[in-house]
Structure formats: structure tokens, C-alpha cells
A and B are shown apart, each in its own frame.
Chain A
């Protein structure tokens, strides 16, 4: 089967840094994406890693290690509005656009 594992919940305070991990086991691998979803809202794209290493987009960074089947999302200078669920997603084959999503991590940011 194909699976992406994430911690179910993470808590942090405003201004802090938090890391959300994702380990994947899929039949193929063509990139790891991260999506944010606020309660009652639609998932929105945050970042993508196709190759090993770190990608930075403002306060958010994402890392990938293909040899370890592992990635993480790093959120810096946390704000209350960052409280949401975060999903990693894998494109598992070159001839498909479908994404396989992880179980999701609920981030709660406290003042």
C-alpha cells in the first residue's frame, strides 16, 4: 500500500519555530508537496520539493531527503493565523497528476 505518515498534532506559541515531519512509502516518487487547510476551508498549496534539499518561501521552508523517504515543513515566526491542518502529498508516478495525501498534522498556535 501507499502511505504518508505525519504527527497528528503539534502545538507551539506565537513567534516560535515548528517542524512538521512526513515519512512516505509509495510505489513511486515524483515530488513532495505541502498544503495548508484551515477549519472549514479548502486546502491551499504551500511548497514543493522535487529534489533533495531545502526550499524556502517566506516564513515557510520545506525539506526533502529522497534516500530517507522523508520530508518536513518548517514554519518560522509563528502567527495565530498559522493554526490549521498541514498535509504532505506525494505525486507517485510520472504519468499521473494525482496526489496521495498524508494523514495531516493539526497545528495549534497559542499566544
Chain B
């Protein structure tokens, strides 16, 4: 399967702990996005990369969140000092090189985070 993969698929943690998620995009895609989705809502943009450069970060993202894409391939999203409000599905998506007008994004299965 050459789609977007995310690990782990589920994470349960206690409030105050740090967690890290990994996303492996489709290999030829140079753009990578992170979104957060809560039950009954649409995905909410967090940040995105073009190759290793982080081009945009949501103003809603607190300083406890950090994302990296060190070699322009896989990406990690770290949440420090987790809070119960961080419980959500964290989705990763990628899109190919080029200024495609439709900007079709290919989503991974997500990592479901539960903060107790």
C-alpha cells in the first residue's frame, strides 16, 4: 500500500505527558499537512510543510505543539504536557509537487489521541 501512513493509530496518555505521532506521506509528494478532527466536526488545519520547510502554522496551535519534517520525507507531531482538550483524531495528508489548482490532499487513517 503506497498511501499515507500514520503511527500509532491509537494513543492513550495521561494528562501532562508528552506524545509524538509519525506520518509517512506518499513518496513523491512534497507537501505534507497536519489537521485535527474532533467528533462531528471537519478537519481543522494545524500546519503544513513543503519539503522540510514549515510554511504555515495555525494561530490556534499553542506552543505545546511542534511539528518537524527533517529530511522532507516523514513528519512528526509532538504535543507536550497534554491536556484533555487535546483528545482528537490527528490527521496527516500529503499532496504532490506543483501548483495544482485542485490541491487534492491524500489523507492518512489518523492517530486517535485520548488524554485521560
Interface residues of A (CB under 8 A from B): 4, 30-31, 33, 41-45, 48, 50, 87, 89, 91, 96-104
Contact = CB atoms under 8 A, between A and B. Distances in A.
A98 B42 contact: no
Contacts of B109: 41-42
Given A42-B107, A42-B110, A98 B102 contact: no
B101 A97 contact: no
Contact of B101 (A31, A45, A98): A31
A10 B12 CA distance: 33
Contacts of A102: 42
Q: Chain B interface residue count: which class?
A: 20 to 34
A104 B56 contact: no
B110 A50 contact: no
Interface of B: 4, 31, 33, 35, 40-45, 48, 50, 55-56, 91, 93, 95, 101-110
Nearest to A89: B42
A97 B33 contact: yes
A101 B42 CA distance: 5
B45 A99 contact: yes
Contact of A31 (B40, B41, B55, B103): B103
Contacts of A41: 109
